[in-house]
Structures are given as structure tokens and as C-alpha cells.
């Protein structure tokens, strides 16, 4: 592991739509100085200029705001593949709403990392991930969209599915109001941990991810 380039994942925000506490969910990937931003938005601006800006939903409610932030850095956000010198980030479909949405599977340093902030059904392609940043909009119950076109699964269900699919580390990184209320009540997770704006997960020489805090601006 000591010969590998540094690999870090920074949560620029962990909030669901209109969160009263967190910035919009976003992830900054840094592999040996190659930086790629996924999602994010206002309040989730980092001090770094990414090489690319990817999104999980090109029709999301935040897409206009994301475009403004990305364009201020000379980038165009898009649902796409990114590949550069040992880092590969590929979109994978998720069941979420009535138009195409995705999560991202990241391959770097021999690890499989997943960014899947919104889904109604746990994605099969996230099986055996070393680290997954996942949906946490609902707490005990899923959130259903009007018309039966999808929605958000619950934290309880994500935890069960992650264990069933042999995920090594689960971080909840799209935290909605029901889950915020549960956190305030001191509710405990069956499996996994809550992310916070600014959390950094760095791969160390033993091949495990160590969490610390970072100043984003």
C-alpha cells in the first residue's frame, strides 16, 4: 500500500433536498492530485478546482445550482464516465425515480467505492464494496414519490441490505429530515455511520479508510 498514490474522499455535504442542517450531498474524489466532484451544490463549494464534475441526475432539483457552481470553475456537470491514470469512475443505474438516475462505482488503488446518495432499491452492483456512501433520506420507513414512480429507501433497509451484500463500510451521506430527527433523539444505527459535511475518508497503508475532518473552503 505504501507505493500507491494518496486516495481521499471528502464529503462536501450530506444533506437531502432543503436540509435544515447540511449542505447538499456531494463527494470530492482525490487520487494523487486528480480531483473529481460528484453532485454537491450551493454551500458545498470546495477550495479545489476539480478536473471534472459528475452528477447522478441530470434533471435533479439542484441541477441549475450545480451548473452555476461548476461553470464558475470552467466545468460542465454531466452524467458520465471519468478515467485517468488508475482512477475510474463509472455511472451505474439505480432505481429511484421515473427518469434515468445513477450512482457511481469508483475503482482506485485496488478498492471499490460507491457513491449512491439516492435510491429506492439497494443497487446490486454495490455488492462487496469497500466503502459506500449511501441514501439516508428516510429513517424507519421509505419515502414514496407521488404516483408510485419510486422514492427513497429507509436507513434501516439500507443497513440490512449493506450487511447482506457484504459491504465493508457504510456511510450515510444523503440525510433527510426524518433521519435528522432520529439523530436528535439519539437513535442508533444497526450498521454503518452518519457522514458529516467535511468528513474525509483517506486510504492508509494498511488498506483501510481512516476518517478525519477537513476545511472545505
Q: In terms of Cα–Cα distance, which of 116, 40, 35 is closest to 82? A: 35
Predicted confidence at residue 176, as pLDDT, reads 95
Q: What's the Rg (C-alpha) of the chain?
A: 16
Q: How many CA atoms lie within 13 A of 25 on its CB side?
A: 27
Give pLDDT tens digits along the chain (217 positions). Answer: 444 689 999 999 999 988 889 999 999 999 999 999 999 987 665 677 899 999 999 998 889 999 998 998 899 999 999 999 999 999 999 998 888 899 999 999 999 999 999 999 999 999 999 999 999 999 999 988 877 678 899 999 999 999 999 999 999 999 999 999 999 999 999 999 999 999 999 999 999 999 998 765 5
Q: 208: which residues sit within 8 A by CB, 6+ positions away? A: none
- In sequence order, the β-bridge partners of residue 34 are 31
Residue 86: per-residue pLDDT: 94
Look at residue 18 in the predicted model and tell me its pLDDT.
83
Report the pLDDT value the prediction gives residue 45, as an integer from 0 to 100: 58
| pLDDT for the residue numbered 135 | 97
All three cell numbers of 25, joined, read: 450531498
| Alpha-carbon dihedral angle through residues 43, 191, 155, 44, given to the nearest 10 degrees | 10
Phi/psi at 16 (nearest 5 deg)?
-80, 180
Nearest to 19 by CA among 200, 204, 197, 198: 197
Amino acid at each position: 500500500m505504501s507505493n500507491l498514490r494518496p486516495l481521499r474522499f471528502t464529503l462536501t455535504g450530506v444533506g437531502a433536498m432543503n436540509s435544515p442542517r447540511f449542505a447538499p450531498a456531494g463527494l470530492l474524489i482525490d487520487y494523487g492530485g486528480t480531483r473529481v466532484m460528484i453532485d454537491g451544490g450551493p454551500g458545498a463549494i470546495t477550495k479545489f478546482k476539480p478536473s471534472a464534475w459528475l452528477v447522478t441526475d441530470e434533471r435533479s432539483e439542484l441541477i441549475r445550482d450545480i451548473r452555476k457552481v461548476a461553470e464558475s470553475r470552467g466545468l460542465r456537470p454531466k452524467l458520465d464516465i471519468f478515467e485517468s491514470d488508475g482512477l475510474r469512475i463509472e455511472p451505474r443505474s439505480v432505481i429511484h425515480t421515473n427518469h434515468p438516475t445513477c450512482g457511481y462505482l469508483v475503482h482506485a488503488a485496488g478498492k471499490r467505492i460507491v457513491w449512491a446518495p439516492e435510491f429506492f432499491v439497494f443497487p446490486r452492483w454495490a455488492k462487496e464494496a469497500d466503502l459506500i456512501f449511501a441514501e439516508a433520506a428516510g429513517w424507519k420507513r421509505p419515502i414514496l414519490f407521488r404516483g408510485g414512480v419510486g422514492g427513497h429507501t429507509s436507513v434501516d433497509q439500507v443497513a440490512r441490505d449493506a450487511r447482506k451484500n457484504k459491504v465493508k463500510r457504510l456511510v450515510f451521506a444523503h440525510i433527510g429530515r426524518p433521519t435528522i430527527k432520529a439523530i436528535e433523539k439519539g437513535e442508533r444505527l444497526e450498521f454503518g455511520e452518519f457522514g458529516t459535511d467535511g468528513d474525509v475518508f483517506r486510504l492508509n497503508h494498511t488498506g483501510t479508510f481512516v476518517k478525519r475532518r477537513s476545511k472545505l473552503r
